[in-house]
Chains A and B, each alone.
Chain A
Amino acid sequence: MIEFNTQIEQYKHWSLEIDGVIATLKLGVNEDAAIQTGYKLKLNSYDLGVDIELHDAVQRLRFEHPEVRTVILTSSKEKVFCAGANINMLGISSHAHKVNFCKFTNETRNSIEDATSFSGQTYISAINGTAAGGGYELALATDYIMLIDDSSSAISLPEVPLLAVLPGTGGLTRVVDKRKVRRDHADYFCTLAEGIRGKRAVKWKLIDELVPRSKFTEKVKERALEFAKKSARPENEKGILLTPINRKIEEDRITYDNVSIEFKRQTRIVNLTVHAPKGDLPTTTESILEAGANYWPLAMARELDDAIMHLSFNELELGTWVLRTSGDADQVFAIDQTLVQNQDYWLVREIILNLKRVFKRLDLVSRSLVALIEPGSCFTGTLLELVLAADRSYMLDGSFEDSDDDPAMLRPTEMNFGALPMCNDLTRIQTRFIDDIENVENIRNEIANNLDAAVANELGLVTFIPDDIDWEEEVRIAVEERTSFSPDALTGMEASLRFAGPETIETKIFGRLTAWQNWIFQRPNAVGEEGALNLYGTGKQSNYDKKRV
């Protein structure tokens, strides 16, 4: 089982140094501490285990270190910054693992950019040695790239010429879309195994600054302080501790404090329920800070995030996730009100940004998502996003027979209108009604109102509203039928339908790049016996199928 939870004391590959407003994340990969057996992590190459630590560090810097305004990414090794994803690891990994690995590393790099853009924590790279492939892509995720000018350190994207695959963590997209490198320059650069160094790298905008070896450390710090000055991070605030989440894994269930999951392995269905907060809720910034990692929207989101990652990596055959909520909708509503009222407070901002990232991760899962809205549920505001993220939703019209429960209701809040955008930069409601701004306004006018099934249906928030007589059968048949379709076709279909609207760097990475990469990962030119990934390091020449497809 792959474990996504870690803490700084357990890091094997990264070190985190904090010096006032500057944090330095140093990559020093322990060759022998790979997450699986069968390869060594030479030359600061990484596997999933290395990236799980990076992901953890990025999260902790946001929550535990409000004082940190600039994060320097660098290497603790001589002459090598990072050699990218470990090739031998890719060679022996299953297709599913490769795809999952790429997605996770992409999400981590997106969260680095998100911190830079929205948290006032700017990431910069201090490339103190060779940055090849995923190594350079890691730097591309930061907002400022400094390369040591030692006449040997180069940046490169050698995947195409050396490995017959693509740079898998957004490199191609970011070179042209983020750094605005001219496409012909980019084309040349991406076919050059040895990469580019020196002045041309600056001229072509592949890096921002070339720094002589003797001045490197000093200059990096100088730049870091400049970025720190522009930050809106708070002063004199203490962070909160991201305490380990409380999770119990059993054969057919996983239980967290606020999320519970049951599996039906035979039918390949996951029943995932998010529970509303109970008891008194903090309403002031002081009490939120005091609640820290136990504050419901943070605790729930961390648990949900863990559940998504765990199920994505460790439960490949559980192909349909049925999403439910349970508990007091008023409590969820109160949470949303507190979040909106205090959104300028640094911790609340981080909590909202974290919710945004978790829902984005949910949008991207290669699983069918079905939301069931039943009496006793609390699809309000933030949790309404679960319905909007689902491929389909069923809302019970009325109550179940012989039950005193009030009928199920949906309740929009301000949170549904901008705080939690998808990777296309639109809200889920905007994406859902891509050509119907009027309806988006109609829904906005219902903020704080309870919407019963008929109204929710009228507003287009749900797919079907069976009454109690039809409910069980309709839902069972829909879910069973879904599980009978080809998992591949479903993944492709869902991924194509979920993201209406404009392209962004993220949609390009998860749409174009990922799709192409996944295709290439299936092709003999990369993974066949004579393919490049298999022959890498053997000295043998790959024998490509010459046909263009």
Chain B
Amino acid sequence: MSINYNEKIPNNVDLSSDRRLQRALEGWQPEYLKWWGGLGPEKSNDLNVYLRTAISVEKDGWAHFDYVRMPDYRWGIFLTPSDSDRTIDFGIHKGQPAWQEVPGEYRSELRRLIVTQGDTEPASVEQQRQLGRTCPSLYDLRNLFQINVEEGRHLWSMVYLLQAYFGRDGREEAEEMLERHSGDPDKPRILEAFNEETPDWLSYFMFTYFTDRDGKFQLASLAESGFDPLARSCRFMLTEEAHHMFVGETGIGRVVQRSCDLMNEHKIRSSAAEDGVRKYGGIDLQTIQKYLNFHFSVSVDLFGQELSTNAATYYNTGIKGRFNESKINDDHLLHDSTYSVLELKGNQILNVDVPALNAVNERLRDDYIFDCDLGVRRWNKIIADSGIDFQLKLPHRAFHRGIGQFSEIQSDPQGNIITQLEWERLHHEWLPTQEDKEYIQSLMQPVTEPGKIAGWIVPPKSKINRLPFEFEFVKFN
């Protein structure tokens, strides 16, 4: 094989002198490209897309912009440069040097975590593969593809870890990552939220805001891992994840802005669907709230059970930390401390102190919810600045849950426990109905002329590489 690895696969892991990795990638890369061709963005092979490619971890290297034919995108392998003195910050190995190799005793746990994280990356590409057909603008289309190739790169990062550190088992897991598919009845993706399709652009913005944000928190806690290559991979992925969430936040913000603009323009008082902005091709705030409710609740599920022995083990053994571990002011052992969680007691939801070690998942969920709320406040500012009396809200964490104790009950968005009958009667007020979905679907008409945009969203304020919205971000050959 005479591939110039550094040219074809930009990396900072010394790929050209790592035979083991080269061989593993030689087998995997064609399969990956096949997967991308078959399940990546639809009909995208001939497009020239103005993409950012990471070609090094240096300041000027991580964002190299140019037109790229997407199958020729150079998926690279980058880890945040190593800090040779790094020690483990938490758990029973606290203070010991971070592991540069997989400790044999934690092999299966680490592998499972990496596989679970890695599995989400191609899953979202699969979920979003049809969105290219209905893009609201070339700018948005380009952002979609940018995120897609980056999710592809995240998969590469996780596959790199599996192939470089987990021997044959790791290679097999890497192969299976391309064999599972989102929504496949026989071989679905591991996490349920990644088997739901992303049928429209509103869902897509919600997904990148809420579900990618789960990714951010998972990556951030893996970035604390005692297994240094994992920590470094995740740190570099976080820089890209920030952009995905930005697309989500600004996307929703632009839809909200359009909704407010239409209300003001047409003197509409009601934020509801029936007599609101739908007449004028906008998306009413109440429907936005319903989509928010849905995506928030399924994303909150991704954090798992409230009390988890797995999470406790991961923490205790130094495999997976908490969000911003080093900034937390405690003993980083959690053997004696407690943490307050919401618990279902009969028909009430109460605060209960539980062993902090078992509540590591719940704490991460708390951090996540806090972070989600920041964007909601910015959208509400858009609404308020437009002089409209309406507020978007995150639903209560007990609302519409499929995992954890709250999955056993029904709750309204405020966290009041309700009966199954009440739920049947009222859920259409809280979650998108078939009619809502059909309406949103009806708006999904492609706009591919440079500088033009669909009627349900406003153009962005931000620019890509200082280029205006009118720039031809995607060229159709």
A interface residues (Cβ-Cβ under 8 A, vs B): 401, 464, 466, 469-470, 473-474, 476-484
Residues of chain A within 8 A of B279, CB atoms compared = none
Task: A479 to B107: give the CA distance in the assembly, Å.
Answer: 11
Q: Which of B1-54 contact A (CB under 8 A)?
A: 19-20, 23
Are B104 and A469 in touch, CB under 8 angstroms?
no
Interface: B102 (CB within 8 A): yes
A466-B167, A470-B167 known; A477+B23 contact, CB < 8 A:
no
Residues of chain A within 8 A of B106, CB atoms compared = 484
Contacting B104 at CB < 8 Å: which of A401, A464, A466, A483? A483
A401-B19, A469-B23 known; A480+B167 contact, CB < 8 A:
no
5 contacts between A and B (CB under 8 A): A470-B20, A473-B20, A476-B104, A477-B166, A480-B103
A466-B167, A466-B168, A470-B167 known; A477+B19 contact, CB < 8 A:
no
Are B104 and A478 in touch, CB under 8 angstroms?
yes
Over the window 150-169 of chain B, the binary record of Cβ atoms lying under 8 Å from chain A Cβ atoms (1 yes, 0 no) is: 00000000000000011110
Task: A398 to B103: give the CA distance in the assembly, Å.
Answer: 27
Q: Which of B236-276 contact A (CB under 8 A)?
A: none
Over the window 85-110 of chain B, the binary record of Cβ atoms lying under 8 Å from chain A Cβ atoms (1 yes, 0 no) is: 00000000000000001111111100
A401-B19, A469-B20 known; A474+B104 contact, CB < 8 A:
no
Are B101 and A476 in touch, CB under 8 angstroms?
yes
* Cβ-closest chain A residue relative to B105: A484
Task: A540 to B168: give the CA distance in the assembly, Å.
Answer: 62
Are A474 and B168 in touch, CB under 8 angstroms?
yes
Task: A73 to B105: give the CA distance in the assembly, Å.
Answer: 51
**A221 → B minimal CB distance (Å):** 62
A466-B167, A466-B168 known; A480+B23 contact, CB < 8 A:
no
**B108 → A minimal CB distance (Å):** 8
Task: A469 to B108: give the CA distance in the assembly, Å.
Answer: 21
Residues of chain B within 8 A of A478, CB atoms compared = 104
Task: A464 to B103: give the CA distance in the assembly, Å.
Answer: 20
* Cβ-closest chain B residue relative to A474: B167
* Cβ-closest chain A residue relative to B108: A481
Are B101 and A469 in touch, CB under 8 angstroms?
no
* Cβ-closest chain A residue relative to B23: A469
Count the B residues whose beta carbon is within 8 Å of the partner chain — how many?
15
Task: A171 to B108: give the CA distance in the assembly, Å.
Answer: 45
Residues of chain A within 8 A of B168, CB atoms compared = 464, 466, 470, 474
Which 7 A-B pairs have CB atoms at the shortest separation, nearest pair first? A480-B104, A484-B105, A481-B104, A469-B20, A474-B167, A477-B104, A473-B167
Task: A473 to B101: give the CA distance in the assembly, Å.
Answer: 9
Are A477 and B20 in touch, CB under 8 angstroms?
no
Are A482 and B104 in touch, CB under 8 angstroms?
yes
Task: A477 to B20: give the CA distance in the assembly, Å.
Answer: 16
**B461 → A minimal CB distance (Å):** 50
Residues of chain B within 8 A of A473, CB atoms compared = 20, 101, 165-167
Are B167 and A483 in touch, CB under 8 angstroms?
no
Task: A483 to B103: give the CA distance in the assembly, Å.
Answer: 11
Over the window 105-120 of chain B, the binary record of Cβ atoms lying under 8 Å from chain A Cβ atoms (1 yes, 0 no) is: 1111000000000000
Residues of chain A within 8 A of B23, CB atoms compared = 469
Q: Which of B129-168 contact A (CB under 8 A)?
A: 165-168
Task: A473 to B171: give the CA distance in the assembly, Å.
Answer: 13
**B109 → A minimal CB distance (Å):** 11
Task: A464 to B108: give the CA distance in the assembly, Å.
Answer: 18
Q: Which of B207-229 contact A (CB under 8 A)?
A: none
**B266 → A minimal CB distance (Å):** 66
**A276 → B minimal CB distance (Å):** 30
User: A466-B168, A481-B105, A484-B106 known; 4 other A-B pairs, CB under 8 Å?
Assistant: A464-B168, A479-B104, A480-B104, A484-B105
Task: A466 to B166: give the CA distance in the assembly, Å.
Answer: 13
**A473 → B minimal CB distance (Å):** 5
**A227 → B minimal CB distance (Å):** 55
* Cβ-closest chain A residue relative to B22: A469
Are B20 and A483 in touch, CB under 8 angstroms?
no
Task: A478 to B103: give the CA distance in the assembly, Å.
Answer: 10
* Cβ-closest chain A residue relative to B165: A473
* Cβ-closest chain A residue relative to B21: A469
**B17 → A minimal CB distance (Å):** 12
Most A-side CB within 10 Å, residue of B107, B108, B166, B167? B167
Are B107 and A481 in touch, CB under 8 angstroms?
yes
**A152 → B minimal CB distance (Å):** 60
Are B19 and A480 in touch, CB under 8 angstroms?
no
Task: A481 to B104: give the CA distance in the assembly, Å.
Answer: 4
* Cβ-closest chain B residue relative to A481: B104
**B25 → A minimal CB distance (Å):** 12
**B318 → A minimal CB distance (Å):** 14
**A37 → B minimal CB distance (Å):** 38
A470-B168, A473-B165, A477-B167 known; A483+B105 contact, CB < 8 A:
yes
Most B-side CB within 10 Å, residue of A464, A469, A483, A484? A469
Residues of chain A within 8 A of B104, CB atoms compared = 476-484
Task: A476 to B107: give the CA distance in the assembly, Å.
Answer: 11
Residues of chain B within 8 A of A469, CB atoms compared = 19-20, 23
Residues of chain B within 8 A of A482, CB atoms compared = 104
* Cβ-closest chain B residue relative to A475: B167
* Cβ-closest chain B residue relative to A478: B104
* Cβ-closest chain A residue relative to B164: A473
Are B105 and A480 in touch, CB under 8 angstroms?
yes
**A215 → B minimal CB distance (Å):** 67
Task: A102 to B19: give the CA distance in the assembly, Å.
Answer: 51
**B397 → A minimal CB distance (Å):** 36
Task: A480 to B106: give the CA distance in the assembly, Å.
Answer: 9
**A399 → B minimal CB distance (Å):** 14
Residues of chain B within 8 A of A477, CB atoms compared = 102, 104, 107, 166-167
* Cβ-closest chain A residue relative to B170: A473
**B294 → A minimal CB distance (Å):** 42
Residues of chain A within 8 A of B107, CB atoms compared = 477, 480-481
